[in-house]
Structure 1
Amino acid sequence: MISTGSIRTVVGIIGNVISFGLFLSPMPTFLTIVKKRAVEDFSPIPYLATLLNCMMWVVYGVPFVHPNSVLVLTINGIGFFVEALYIAIFFIFAPRRLRLKIFGILVAELLFVGVVLGGVLGGAHTHDKRTQIVGILCVIFGTAMYASPLSVMKMVIETKSVEYMPFYLSLVSFLNGICWTTYSLLRFDLYILIPNGLGALLAAAQLLLYGMYYRTTPPKGGLKQNLELPQIVPTNAPEFLSSVTIER
Structure 2
Amino acid sequence: MASAGRGRLTAATAVGPSALPRLSKPPLLDKLPRTLIRVPFTLGYTLVLLGTGLYARLGDPGTVHDLLADSSTDVSHLSQRPLLTLLFSALWAVGGITSPYLVVFPLVLGALERRVGGARTAGVFLLGHVLATLLTELPVAASVAVGDLPASSLRRLDYGVSYGLIACAAALAGLLVPRLRWALLGGIGVALVAGSLVDFDPLTEWGHGLALLIGVVCWLYVRRNARWRPS
Max Rg structure = 2
- The answer, yes or no, to whether TM exceeds 0.5 is no
* Structure possessing the higher relative contact order (Cα contacts under 8 Å, 6 or more residues apart): 1
Bigger proportion of residues as helix: 2
